[in-house]
Amino acid sequence: MAKIRILPDALASQVAAGEVVERPAALVRELVENSLDAGAHHIEVHAQRGGIAMIRIVDDGSGMDREDAMLCLERHATSKIRTKEDLGAIHTFGFRGEALPSIASVSRFRLATREKSALVGTEIEVNGGKLVAVRDHGGAPGTVIEARSLFFNVPARRKFLRTENTEFAHVEQQLRLHAIANPQTAFTLTHNGELVLHLPATRDMLERIRGMVGDELASRLLKVEETTVQGVTVSGYIGGPGMSRSNRQMQTTYLNGRPIESASISYGLREGYHTALMKGQYPVTFLFIQMDPHAFDVNVHPAKKEVRFHDGHSVRDAISRSVSHTLENAAKLPTGHAPARAIPAAASTQAVPSSRQEQFAMPVPASSAPLRNIAPAPAATSAPRTQPFAPAVSHRAADVLARIATERSTPAIEPQAPEAAAPPEAQEEEVEAPQEPQAPAKAAPSEPPEYRIIGVLQKLYVLMEGKEGLVLMDQHAAHERVNFEKFRRAIESGGVPCQRLLLPVTLQTTPRDADLLKQNMASLNRLGIEIEPFGPNIFKVETLPAFLKTDDPAAWLDQVIEELSSLSTKSSSLRLSEDAIATIACRASVKSNDVLSIPEMQALLKDLFACEMPYCCPHGRPTLVQISTSELERKFGRRAPG
């Protein structure tokens, strides 16, 4: 009574097809990959009714001879790998030999192909997996593949298809993914006969990106200079601080040209953006990773969307460093967002974006910089920091401390070390056209814009009138940012100035918190908190950071320890990064309901704009939000929407 049966081939293909081709966009993925593998210079994608009625891909690649054309419809027929060893290092998009038979088994399928040198090509028709016809084909060299009536013979699958618009949106997104990674290939996309995308071939990646996302966004991208760390090469373009999206759609990442998603990459991005990215937001990236194909496995996901890195840590590290390095460099340019090229002499007056998506994430002007990860390198990343990533501002010398103490109202252009902060690009420019010493891109704090303070809302939001409309400052978040940068500058130059307590505070802690404090003692000391063991689970605190104004040091310390310990439960080691500790110390140092006087608000605003990254607090939340006059006008019906 055998129950197990070998499935007839056609049925097996249909089952397999469900995994490979779950929707029209998946066909596009597989077929475009095939065309790219075949060396096509021009790829056309035509869709009807979201791709459900028809997807047709036309390429000018190598084409196939008749034998291969027949063979490619057999399951596991592939020209791309031969041995098990090949599977360990895949250089092509395809390798399973699954796509074509799968697609052919669930559609009315037509393949027409011709090699360049062949007199005549081959046309094959397959209907729901059944071979219907093979004939000569007289078309141009290259390959045309057409799949009509997707899932016509698998109603269960068809039910999962969404509306035509949704399906087409996926098709378009899929094509964009490939188009970005392959600027040297021209792409055309039509829907129901109408041209949707036309991307001519170009050598310039940014040009290709611009063709898809438009001038405005493209002009604000930052170039990630190609760098290799531990065998991981990273390059591409990324959005600057404040440029983010609420979903991952614009977070595109590629591994050896293949669009992929990976937790290691996402972590790396997050780490690299650090506080430049608001919680819950995703960066805009077009990031390319190149690695030895032996160093990862693509054969883990049916749609080949995910990969498994043998050493995810180094990938994460390389990305994080590239991103933070890029953000740092950009921050030193007067133009802020301009891809590191021409540097106008005038300091930028930053434009506040009007686009609705970004009204809560203001752009960052010249002087703002993302935070460097100043945490002591954990054991696993103790590899020597490669030259390009040397902390850019570390040699800002001891005058930093003085700067903290003194007013930072003067847009400090310290003539003694202009090269310290000037990006390499700026220097090159200078060689060509020597300029007056004032211009070179020194990370000078920006002048606060002309804001007129109107009042305070809920003891928290400072309302201000700006050129563009209403501006709100979250005074709590602003304070945190200001304190945080003070902290960090001081740490960079050797330690935070501290105030000695009249009476040392003794703290009784749990054993776990005691371990936590011991692990982080050195960092705490550097932050101006002189703490030392004073018995089992007891600590003595002698000093606190100088800027801290508190009448209850013990309560403040309790709060800090509590936050540290809640943070440490989320991380695998008890040792926390110095940034994290600084962030917590800052948060604890700000009282939210402080009523500020107008001069205090003005001072805060000035301090905020003296920060390297004024537009968000160390947790990435915005410090300033603008509601533009035009938006108000729309809301009050004084202006047509749009």
Site stretch for ligand ADP (CB under 6 A), options 2-10, 91-99, 276-284, 408-416:
91-99
The DSSP annotation for 11-31 comes to HHHHHHHHHH-SSHHHHHHHH
Partner that binds at residue 100, options Mg ion, ligand ADP, none, CB closer than 5 to 8 Å by kind = ligand ADP
For Mg ion, the closer of residues 99 and 473 by Cβ is 99
User: In this chain, which of 34, 127, 475, 589 binds Mg ion, going by CB under 5 A?
Assistant: 34
How far is Cα 571 from Cα 419, in angstroms, rounded to an integer? 38
Tokens of 153: 């013979």
For ligand ADP, the closer of residues 100 and 462 by Cβ is 100
Tokens of 573: 């080691």
Q: Which distant-in-sequence residues (6+ apart) come within 8 Å of 279 by Cβ?
A: 619, 620, 621
Give the 3-state secondary structure of residue 186: strand
Q: Give kind and range of the element (H or E) at residue 312.
A: helix 312-331
Q: How far is the CB of 93 from Mg ion (least distance, A)?
A: 6
How far is Cα 171 from Cα 173, in angstroms, rounded to an integer? 6
User: In this chain, which of 16, 51, 95, 237 binds ligand ADP, going by CB under 6 A?
Assistant: 95
Q: Which of residues 254-283 bind Mg ion (CB under 5 A)?
A: none
Site stretch for ligand ADP (CB under 6 A), options 8-16, 71-79, 358-366, 402-410:
71-79
Distances (CA, A) of 18 to 5, 24, 128, 154, 628: 20, 12, 13, 10, 49
Q: Distance between alpha carbon 75 and the CA centroid of its chain, in Å?
A: 38
Q: Which residue has the tokens 């809302």?
A: 457
How would you label 422-445 residue by residue, b for 16+ Cβ within 10 Å and e otherwise? bbebbeebbeeeeeeeebbbbbbb
The DSSP annotation for 248-282 comes to GGGEEEEETTEE-B-HHHHHHHHHHHGGGS-TT-E
Q: Which residue has the tokens 């939000």?
A: 625
Site string for Mg ion, 490-529 (x = CB under 5 A): ----------------------------------------
Kindly state the greatest CA–CA separation across the chain. 96
How many chain residues touch ligand ADP (CB under 6 A)?
22
DSSP 446: P
62 in contact with Mg ion (CB under 5 A):
no
99 in contact with Mg ion (CB under 5 A):
yes
Phi, psi of 452 (to 5 degrees): -105, 120
For ligand ADP, the closer of residues 78 and 252 by Cβ is 78
For ligand ADP, the closer of residues 97 and 445 by Cβ is 97
Give the 3-state secondary structure of residue 315: helix
Site stretch for ligand ADP (CB under 6 A), options 31-39, 131-139, 181-189, 544-552:
31-39
User: In this chain, which of 13, 17, 24, 35 binds ligand ADP, going by CB under 6 A?
Assistant: 35
185 in contact with ligand ADP (CB under 6 A):
no
Site stretch for ligand ADP (CB under 6 A), options 75-83, 291-299, 386-394, 433-441:
75-83
Partner that binds at residue 79, options ligand ADP, Mg ion, none, CB closer than 5 to 8 Å by kind = ligand ADP
Angle (CA) 573-575-580 rounded to 5° is: 110
Q: How far is the CB of 99 from Mg ion (least distance, A)?
A: 4
For ligand ADP, the closer of residues 110 and 325 by Cβ is 110
97 in contact with ligand ADP (CB under 6 A):
yes
Question: In this chain, which residue has its C-beta nearest to ligand ADP?
Answer: 94
User: In this chain, which of 26, 45, 100, 462 binds ligand ADP, going by CB under 6 A?
Assistant: 100
Q: How far is the CB of 109 from ligand ADP (least distance, A)?
A: 12
Is-contact 286 323, C-beta < 8 A?
A: no
How far is Cα 457 from Cα 50, in angstroms, rounded to an integer? 49
Partner that binds at residue 439, options ligand ADP, Mg ion, none, CB closer than 5 to 8 Å by kind = none
For Mg ion, the closer of residues 16 and 234 by Cβ is 16
User: In this chain, which of 94, 241, 272, 618 binds Mg ion, going by CB under 5 A?
Assistant: 94
Site string for ligand ADP, 132-171 (x = CB under 6 A): -----------x----------------------------
- Considering only CA atoms, which of 467, 397, 448 is closest in space to residue 630? 467
Partner that binds at residue 272, options Mg ion, ligand ADP, none, CB closer than 5 to 8 Å by kind = none
Partner that binds at residue 496, options ligand ADP, Mg ion, none, CB closer than 5 to 8 Å by kind = none
In 200-256, where do the E strands start and end? 221-229, 232-239, 244-245, 251-255
34 in contact with ligand ADP (CB under 6 A):
yes
94 in contact with ligand ADP (CB under 6 A):
yes
Tokens of 542: 């002698």
Residues that bind ligand ADP (CB under 6 A): 30, 34-35, 38, 59, 61-64, 72, 77-80, 94-100, 143
Residues that bind Mg ion (CB under 5 A): 34, 94, 99
